[in-house]
Amino acid sequence: MKLLKLVPDHTNLDFMRWRNLALVLSLIATVASIAFTIYRGLNLGVDFVGGQLIRVTFNQPIDVEQLRSRVDGLHLGEASIQEFGGPKTFQIRLPKPEGGDAATNIAATKVKQAIEADYPGNARIDAVETVSGKVSGELAEGSAMAIAFAMLGIAVYIWFRFEWQFGVGALLTLAHDVAMTLGFFAFTRLQVDLNVVAAFLTIVGYSLNDTVVIYDRIRENLRKYRKMAILPLLNLSLNETLARTVVTSLTVLIALGVLMLIGPEVIFGLAIAIFLGVLIGTYSSIYISAPVLVWLGIQPDSFLKSEDKDAAEALPA
Amino acid sequence: MLEFPKWKVWLIGLVIAAGVLFSIPSLIAGTTLKGSWPSWLPQYKINLGLDLAGGSHLLLEADANDAQKQRLQSMEDTVATELRRDPRIDIGDISTSGGRLSFLVRNPTQVDAAVDRLRNLTKPQGLTGQRDWDVQVVDSTRIVMVPTPSGTATALKDAMSVARDVVRRRIDPGGTKEITVITEGANRILVQVPGVEDPEALKKLIGQTARLEFKLVDTAANPQDVAQGRAPPGSQVLPMAEGGGFIAVKRRVMVSGDQLADAKQSFDQDGRPDIDITFNAAGARRFGRVTQENVNKPFAIILDDKVLSAPNINEPILGGRAQITGGYTVQSAHDLAVSLSSGKLPVKLNVIEERTVGPDLGKDSIHKGVIASVIGTMLVILFMLVTYGRFGVYATIALIVNAFLILGIMAIFNATLTLPGIAGFILTIGAAVDANVLINERIREEIRRGRRLIDAVETGYHEAFRAIFDANVTHVISAGIMAYFGSGPVRGFAVVLMIGVVTSVFTAVYFTRMLVALWIRRARPRALHI
């Protein structure tokens, strides 16, 4: 049986030739993503802004306008009705109750009763959520902190295991990946809830996977070929790891793609965020992680002075 | 490479067997095979999170104002009781406004004695020398008691632990349901009840403080003053629970719900639902004495600062039993009985977050999640097989073993599988093969460089391990932070990721290495098809 080789042997692409162009494009994309996120804002779920939410699935198709006018007729404040995952499932959002932190879900209960009365036997209430302003504020703050700490923690670990240039490279790569994914959520108006934050943390962990592998190879080659110029050395390292990068990214994308397409609707946001993060992470491991090392002046002898560390780094396999 | 001692093979085999054994009860739960699992085998099972099992999640927060009010009130009672003891010290003009308890000592010569006796009521806070209340004298005759911050914190901590137990007893009087009631942070309680579709009943049970008090009605109070909310000294004006109106009662609590032994829903002579309460021995004695001393006077039954009724004491009630009546339905009488017998909440609790998932959505999610997992895994396996041939088979076996190990470990720790947890499972499947990809690509590379077979395999495993290790540490960092900051479902995701990191390194590195070593030893291949 002939085995599949997605990347032929002796592949030798000149990745670094395009590094400045890629940098400019990445920079533009990152700035655009951040600007877009700030300008247009994220579609934050009740987890982060508070409020009440009802998710209902109908057995038979219903007239959305009728449902909308019924909910508006209850005069519970500004309500929004959106399709959720499929044409028969709807998400109804209501503003958070006025006055105080208590999460009274009077409005949600009223809507629930109205739906049950109007569509007897047809409606299935899937979920009712009420989050007070106090809790949502804490969740938003905690999530932002978690993402920041994860990025820093990983960068520090890379610094500790490699050199400071690699730590900075990892941090920039992560910032790029997170910013791009945020931009995607701002652009598509996909709802950002706690699950999506979990996805961001996962991206922080997994998008760095490729970077770590490539950095490991760069370190190895820096020691092996002490006379080689830095650009050819980076190209060599990227080409040597390219087959692995392609195969691994593909397996992860296959698994997540299936989850995204036929998995539960509730975690669609999580699945698509990680899917995207892995895709972006694959790109940035080549065009951000590696070139950053050039600009930060990594030298073939960067690891020479720490030769005595080798014993510690050669972990038992 | 080829030296793979027998004991290592056995150890790895044992770990895998244990993983499979422990994962089976979770896999067959809810199927017809459930009954055929022998009882002498492990029964550990993975919990399903509320988003999969359906149920209600409530986050309760102590009402800080109410906590302060209750603490002042209980100190007021303590002070009154203490100073009534011999030698009696008369006090007046009691006020609890401004978060402090202040009162006048009628006889100026007794101020110092009063301060001494009150200081003895306060408790020291740890080794700081601070006490839970500051006792000060103002204007030489007024004593002011101010709660100290550390005293307030201690009181809140105690109140929260009592509240947690009370909430648990109220939701689950029999102690048989699989509910979660835990304190979170300084002033919160998290309640998770699987399978509840309507959380309203739950909230009613928790929402009532259920502080039951019996006080004498102040019959001397001027009705006009009472209507305007003014009460004579030593009395207070309370609203009636029904029909509006106010009534003046003596401040002193004659008997309280703390001394109840039991409360049951029952019916009165006319067949209306009521609550039968039974006092404990001390409560019964006290109730008997109070009713004996106050025959023909009205006695107010007060629940959460509302007067339920104020019947006349016709004769001493000596059996320690009484009825609470007043427009109850069977359900509301039953709820109040449960609340009374579970004890009063030491502090009022507000619901600040509430999430309910219907059971059907959960089933839907599990179904779709399982299908996605199976199809995803199959595609990944197919991809591995066409890419790496024999080594792909090893990676596949490792993958399947990995799935069992994750489930087995989750079962042993009684971990909770949530919907994002299923995503974590799929992600782990996708990412776990990365270690094998790294190893296999490295072996390919080494063979291209002209190394001998065994040498290439050896180098492949050795050189790839560094990157595998570093990559997995970054995963653990992000998953660890997620587990620390995240709540409920997200934490479930992080747990799966962390377990997956450990098991995938074991299966993808050590286990496949064993398979490869055994194969090479047995078949002695001349060339490697990879």
pLDDT tens-digit map of B470-505: 888 888 888 888 888 877 677 888 888 899 999 999
Contact between chains at B426 and A259 (C-beta distance less than 8 A): yes
Q: Which of B59, B470, B481 sits opposite A146 (nearest CB)?
A: B481
What are A110-135's pLDDT values in tens digits?
888 888 888 888 888 888 888 888 88
Inform me whether the C-beta atom of residue A115 falls under 8 Å from chain B C-beta atoms: no
Tokens representing B173?
A: 């009087």
pLDDT band at A312 (very low <50, low <70, confident <90, very high): very low
Calculate the alpha carbon distances from B382 to B374, B386, B504 in Å. 12, 6, 19
CA distance A288 to chain B (A): 18
B377: nearest CA in chain A? A255
Residue B29 pLDDT > 70: yes
Residue A317 pLDDT > 50: no
B60: nearest CA in chain A? A102
Q: Give the span between the Cα atoms of B391 and B512, in whole angstroms.
A: 8
Which of A190-199, B31-40, B357-366, B377-386 shows the highest mean pLDDT? B377-386
In a domain, residue A9? The reply is no
Calculate the alpha carbon distances from A34 to A31, A223, B366 in Å. 5, 38, 36
Q: Is the pLDDT higher at B84 or at A29?
A: A29
CATH of the domain at A290: 1.20.1640.10
Question: How many Cβ atoms sit within 10 Å of the Cβ of residue B180?
Answer: 15
Inform me whether the C-beta atom of residue A312 falls under 8 Å from chain B C-beta atoms: no
Calculate the alpha carbon distances from B435 to A315, B181, B301, B454, B469 in Å. 15, 40, 71, 19, 9
In a domain, residue A143? The reply is yes
In a domain, residue A185? The reply is yes
Residue B191 pLDDT > 70: yes
Q: Does one domain contain both A197 and A289?
A: yes
Contact between chains at B364 and A264 (C-beta distance less than 8 A): yes
Q: Residue A57's closest CA among B363, B418, B369, B57?
A: B363
Q: Give the span between the Cα atoms of B358 and B196, in whole angstroms.
A: 8
Q: Does one domain contain both A103 and A214?
A: no
Q: Does one domain contain both A244 and A149?
A: yes
Which of A252-256, B50-54, B309-313 shows the highest mean pLDDT? A252-256
On whether the CB atoms of residues A251 and B433 are closer than 8 A, the answer is: yes
Which residues, 6 or more positions from B203, have their beta carbon under 8 angstroms from its beta carbon? B58, B351, B354
Residue A179 pLDDT > 90: yes
Q: Give the pLDDT confidence score for residue A99 in this predicted structure.
A: 53
pLDDT band at A311 (very low <50, low <70, confident <90, very high): very low
Q: What pTM was estimated for this model as a whole? A: 0.80
- Average pLDDT on B495-521 reads 90
What is the domain extent for residue A263? 15-43+136-303
Residue A103 pLDDT > 60: no
pLDDT band at B395 (very low <50, low <70, confident <90, very high): very high
Residue A315 pLDDT > 70: no
Inform me whether the C-beta atom of residue A37 falls under 8 Å from chain B C-beta atoms: no
In a domain, residue A311? The reply is no
Q: Does one domain contain both A111 and A216?
A: no
Q: Which domains does chain B have, with CATH numbers?
A: 6-54+359-523 (1.20.1640.10), 65-152 (3.90.1070), 154-355 (3.30.1360.200)
pLDDT band at B17 (very low <50, low <70, confident <90, very high): very high
Chain A contact set for B426 (CB, 8 A): 255-256, 258-259, 263
B window 403-442, beta carbon within 8 A of A: 419-420, 422-423, 426-427, 429-431, 433-434, 437-438, 441
- Average pLDDT on B44-69 reads 86
Residue B444 pLDDT > 80: yes
Q: Give the pLDDT confidence score for residue B387 in this predicted structure.
A: 92
Residue B522 pLDDT > 70: yes
Inform me whether the C-beta atom of residue A313 falls under 8 Å from chain B C-beta atoms: yes
C-alpha B70 chain-centroid distance: 23
Residue B197 pLDDT > 80: no
Contact between chains at A255 and B465 (C-beta distance less than 8 A): no
Question: How many Cβ atoms sit within 10 Å of the Cβ of residue A52?
Answer: 27
Q: How many Å from the N-terminal Cα to the C-terminal Cα in chain B?
A: 18
Contact between chains at A262 and B433 (C-beta distance less than 8 A): no
Strand segments (E) across B110-250? 133-138, 142-147, 180-184, 188-194, 212-216, 235-239, 246-250
CATH of the domain at A125: 3.30.70.3400
Taken in order B85, B88, B93, B97, is the CA torsion positive or negative?
A: negative
Contact between chains at B437 and A244 (C-beta distance less than 8 A): yes
Q: Give the pLDDT confidence score for residue B385 in this predicted structure.
A: 93
Q: Give the pLDDT confidence score for residue B2 in this predicted structure.
A: 64
In a domain, residue A312? The reply is no
Final residue in a domain of this structure, among A103, A131, A159: A131
Inform me whether the C-beta atom of residue A123 falls under 8 Å from chain B C-beta atoms: no
Q: Give the pLDDT confidence score for residue B155 in this predicted structure.
A: 87
In a domain, residue A316? The reply is no
Residue B111 pLDDT > 50: yes
Chain A contact set for B368 (CB, 8 A): 262-264
Q: Is the pLDDT higher at B196 or at B452?
A: B452
Q: Which of B351, B356, B437 sits opposite A128 (nearest CB)?
A: B356
B428: nearest CA in chain A? A252
User: Range with the lowest mean pLDDT among A102-111, B41-50, B157-166, B324-333?
Assistant: A102-111
Q: Give the pLDDT confidence score for residue B198 in this predicted structure.
A: 73
In a domain, residue A6? The reply is no
- Average pLDDT on B376-401 reads 92
Interface test with A, best of B50, B187, B206, B353 (most A CBs within 10 A): B353
Q: What is the share, in percent, of chain B residues with pLDDT greater than 70? A: 99
Contact between chains at A157 and B420 (C-beta distance less than 8 A): no
Domain count, chain A: 2
- Average pLDDT on B451-475 reads 90
What are A36-74's pLDDT values in tens digits?
999 988 999 888 988 888 888 888 888 888 888 888 888
- Average pLDDT on B113-121 reads 87
Q: Does one domain contain both A142 and A121?
A: no
Residue A290 pLDDT > 80: yes
Interface test with A, best of B418, B465, B477 (most A CBs within 10 A): B477
Burial of B173 per CB tally in 10 Å (0-12, 13-18, 19+): middle
Q: Give the pLDDT confidence score for residue B422 in this predicted structure.
A: 85
Q: Does one domain contain both A66 and A183?
A: no
pLDDT band at A305 (very low <50, low <70, confident <90, very high): low
Chain B contact set for A47 (CB, 8 A): none
Q: Does one domain contain both A228 and A297?
A: yes
Q: Give the span between the Cα atoms of B433 and A291, in whole angstroms.
A: 28
Inform me whether the C-beta atom of residue A314 falls under 8 Å from chain B C-beta atoms: yes
Final residue in a domain of this structure, among A99, A131, A163: A131
Q: Does one domain contain both A200 and A298?
A: yes
Final residue in a domain of this structure, among A100, A131, A162: A131
Q: Residue A56's closest CA among A108, A131, A130, A132?
A: A108
What mean pLDDT, rounded, does chain A reach?
Answer: 85
Q: Give the pLDDT confidence score for residue A101 in this predicted structure.
A: 47
CB pairs under 8 A between A and B: 247
pLDDT band at A158 (very low <50, low <70, confident <90, very high): very high
Q: Does one domain contain both A179 and A102?
A: no
pLDDT band at A98 (very low <50, low <70, confident <90, very high): low
C-alpha A267 chain-centroid distance: 13
What mean pLDDT, rounded, does chain B reach?
Answer: 86
Inform me whether the C-beta atom of residue A7 falls under 8 Å from chain B C-beta atoms: no
Q: Does one domain contain both A174 and A63?
A: no
Contact between chains at B371 and A262 (C-beta distance less than 8 A): yes
Q: Which of A195, A213, A256 sits opposite B426 (nearest CB)?
A: A256
- Average pLDDT on A154-160 reads 92
Q: Is the pLDDT higher at B469 or at A95?
A: B469
CA distance A171 to chain B (A): 12
B381: nearest CA in chain A? A251
Interface test with A, best of B380, B402, B484, B485 (most A CBs within 10 A): B485
Q: Is the pLDDT higher at A35 or at A79?
A: A35
Q: Does one domain contain both A107 and A254?
A: no
Chain B contact set for A248 (CB, 8 A): 431, 433-434, 437-438
Tokens representing A303?
A: 């690891």
C-alpha B111 chain-centroid distance: 46
In a domain, residue A96? The reply is yes
Q: Does one domain contain both A111 and A144?
A: no
Q: Which of A127, A274, A315 sits opposite B356 (nearest CB)?
A: A127
Chain A contact set for B509 (CB, 8 A): 317
